[in-house]
Amino acid sequence: MLIDSHCHLDDFAASGELDAVLERAREAGVEAMITVGTSLSDWETYARITAAHPGFVHWTAGLHPTEVDEGWKDHVDTLASWFATSPAPVGIGEVGLDYFHLPKDAKKAAPIVARQKDAFAAQLEIAYQLDCPLVVHSRNAFADTVAMIDKSGVNWKKVVYHCFSEGPEEIRALNERGGRGSFTGVVTYKNGLRNLEAAVAQGLELLMLETDCPWLTPEPFRGKRNEPALIVHTAQKLALAMGIPFESLCETSTRNAREFFQNLTTCAHAGT
Ligand SMILES: [Zn+2]
Ligand SMILES: [Zn+2]
C-alpha cells in the first residue's frame, strides 16, 4: 500500500472525474492521499472532498507562492481558523518561494519576491504557533527558503520540501537540520538523475512519495495527465535505485508519511 503525500484534486472534482480517479487509486494500492491547498478557493474544495472520503483523502491549507498577489493577507488571515474546523487540515502548505516564474525584468520581479517572502514569513509564523507539519514549495529558491525556515523557529522535523528538485548536497542540508524532501515522478525521467541521486542519498528512513498530480506524470506515462494511481511507477523506480524490494519501499514510505503527518490526524487541537 502507498500514500500519495502531495496531490491536487481540484481539477478532477471540477470535471466530475474525482470518483473514478479515487477508485483507480484504490485499485493501484493507494491507501491514503493528501490533497494540498494553494489558495482559499481550493481550501474550501479540499475540506469538502476530505469530508466525503474520511480516512482516504486528507488535506492541507496554505497559500502557494505563485498565488501570492496584493490580496494575500485576506487568505493568510483566515488560515489559522481552518484548523478549528472539521475536517481540519493535516498540515500547512504548500507555502514557500518560487523564483522560476518571475518576470525577467529585475525591477518587475523585486516587488513580487518581496511579497512572496512576506506571505511565506506570515505562514511560517502560523506553522510555528500551531506546531503543524509544513509542506514547502521551493523553486529556484533553495537558499532563501532554508534561511527563512531557520529564522522562523519552525521545527525542521516537521518540514518537507515537496517535489524535491535539487541534488544530493541540498538534501543533506535539509537532513542535517532534521528536515526532508519528498519525491515525484521526476525521478523516473531521463533528465531526473540528480533528483534520483538526492532520493537515494536521503535514504529509505525519510522517504516520502508524491505525485503532485495532475502534473509531473511518471514514465512510462509522461505526457499524459498524472493522478494518484500512477505513484506506483515512482515507487518502482526508487525501489530499483535503492536496491530494495518494492514491498519494503511501499511499507516504509507509507509508514514515514503517516508518521510525518502525525498519523494523518488533523491539527484541529492546534487551532483551538
Ligand atoms: Zn509545489
Ligand atoms: Zn503541489
Domain extents for the chain? 2-271
DSSP state of 197: H
Q: Are 49 and 57 in contact (CB under 8 A)?
A: yes
Contacts of 59 (CB under 8 A, 6+ apart): 34, 35, 36, 37, 43, 46, 47, 49, 50, 87, 89, 90
Cell, residue 120: 511565506
- Output the CA 245–ligand 1 centroid distance in Å: 29
- Output the CA 95–ligand 2 centroid distance in Å: 10
- Summarised one tens digit per residue, pLDDT across range 75-132 is 999 999 999 999 999 999 999 999 999 999 999 999 999 999 999 999 999 999 999 9
Does the pTM surpass 0.75? The reply is yes
- Output the CA 214–ligand 1 centroid distance in Å: 12
- Summarised one tens digit per residue, pLDDT across range 225-234 is 999 999 999 9
The pLDDT of residue 225: 96
Q: Which ligand is nearest to the CA of 215?
A: 2
- Output the CA 220–ligand 1 centroid distance in Å: 22
Please give the sequence-ordered ranges of beta strands (E in DSSP) within the chain, or none if there are none.
Answer: 2-7, 30-36, 57-60, 92-98, 134-139, 159-161, 180-181
- Output the CA 139–ligand 2 centroid distance in Å: 11
> What homologous superfamily is domain 2-271 in, according to CATH?
Metal-dependent hydrolases (3.20.20.140)
The pLDDT of residue 271: 44
The mean of the pLDDT values for the chain is 96
SS3 state of residue 179: coil
The pLDDT of residue 265: 86
- Output the CA 137–ligand 1 centroid distance in Å: 4
- Summarised one tens digit per residue, pLDDT across range 120-150 is 999 999 999 999 999 999 999 999 999 999 9
- Summarised one tens digit per residue, pLDDT across range 35-67 is 999 999 999 999 999 999 999 999 999 999 999
- Output the CA 106–ligand 1 centroid distance in Å: 23
Residue whose C-alpha is closest to residue 118's, from 142, 97, 141: 97
The pLDDT of residue 12: 98
- Output the CA 4–ligand 1 centroid distance in Å: 14
Cell, residue 244: 530494495
Range of lowest pLDDT (132-141, 212-221, 260-269): 260-269
